[in-house]
Amino acid sequence: MINIVSHKNVANNKLVSKEEMEELLKKDSAKIYEVIRVVEGRPVFLREHFDRMNESIRLSGLKGVLDYEYYMRSAEMLISANNLLNCNIRVSYYFTHEDVLLFYFIESHYPSKKQFQEGVDTVTVKMHRKNPNVKAFEKNFKEEVQKVIDETGSFEAILVNDDNTVSEGSKSNIFFVKKNKIITSPDEAVLLGVTRSKVIEVCMMNNVEVEKRTVHFDELNSFDAAFITGTSNDVLPIRKIDEKLYNSAGNDVVRKVSRLYLEEMKK
């Protein structure tokens, strides 16, 4: 069950209670959703999240299509109705006889200062999403991955496909560093994360080479550093993948990418 932390929520541009929102979510069969970071009362990269949600709706074959002004008003209404200035909004969408668009704050966790300074431990798991480009909730997938994360005490699980290629994190995108270049999976193989897209954009604008290509599991020992990106994670260095150790937090390329991304986010 999703932990809603806002007492006033927004359903189709109208305020509803937490209990009413929970009842509406029980009718959600499409499971199309977005998670939007709110920093100091401002939604971060709202337009990009809106565009990705529309694309998820299209790729899922659902009837609906969203309007940006309507989407933006719902986010603003939720923020103004609750005293939660630094928290994540979850947006859910499904279609009955009309579009149903739901905005609510959820329990949010962010990496600690120490994790940014030292990097996080990750574990690989043989698993993949049904449709990588669609941000849709898959209950069994989430539960199986979380079990592995809990058992190993890891921060995140890195997904490995049946052909031993490394795609992404279970709730993040992953980048590798080799000399002065960053490497990440092709677009068609992963969820097109908003943070991922912004990282690639700022790198290209600042002469940091980005290569999108298939990454094989047996290449992991050859990289200088690695990091994950996500709505709550920003640019988060990886200290360890399985037993392979990296000095990602001290890597100049990782530090530069993190600085460039944070500057873009602050805009």
pLDDT at 87 over 70: yes
pLDDT at 141 over 70: yes
Q: What is the mean pLDDT of residues 126-151?
A: 82
Q: What is the residue-wise DSSP string for 31-80?
A: -EEEEEEEETTEESSHHHHHHHHHHHHHHTT-S----HHHHHHHHHHHHH
For residue 65, the model assigns a pLDDT of 87
- Report the C-alpha gap between 111 and 267 in whole angstroms: 21
Give the pLDDT band (50/70/90) at residue 133: low
Long-range CB contacts for residues 20-23, cutoff 8 Å, separation at least 24: 21/102, 21/104
Q: What is the mean pLDDT of residues 96-110?
A: 94
Q: What is the mean pLDDT of residues 67-96?
A: 96
**pLDDT tens profile 115-132:** 999 999 999 999 877 777
**pLDDT tens profile 88-98:** 999 999 998 88
For residue 139, the model assigns a pLDDT of 75
Q: Where do the structural domains in the chain lie, given as residue ranges?
A: 8-106, 113-266
Q: Which helix (H) or strand (E) holds 95?
A: strand 87-95
Six-digit token pair at 233?
A: 């994670």
User: 197 and 253 in contact (C-beta within 8 Å)?
Assistant: no
Q: Which CATH number describes the domain made up of 8-106?
A: 3.30.470.10
pLDDT at 147 over 90: yes
**pLDDT tens profile 178-236:** 999 999 999 999 989 999 999 999 999 999 999 999 999 999 999 999 999 999 999 99
Cβ neighbors of 2 (< 8 A, separation 6 or more) are 25, 90, 106
Q: Is 113-266 CATH 3.20.10.10?
A: yes
Q: What is the pTM of this model?
A: 0.92
8-106 and 113-266, same CATH topology? no
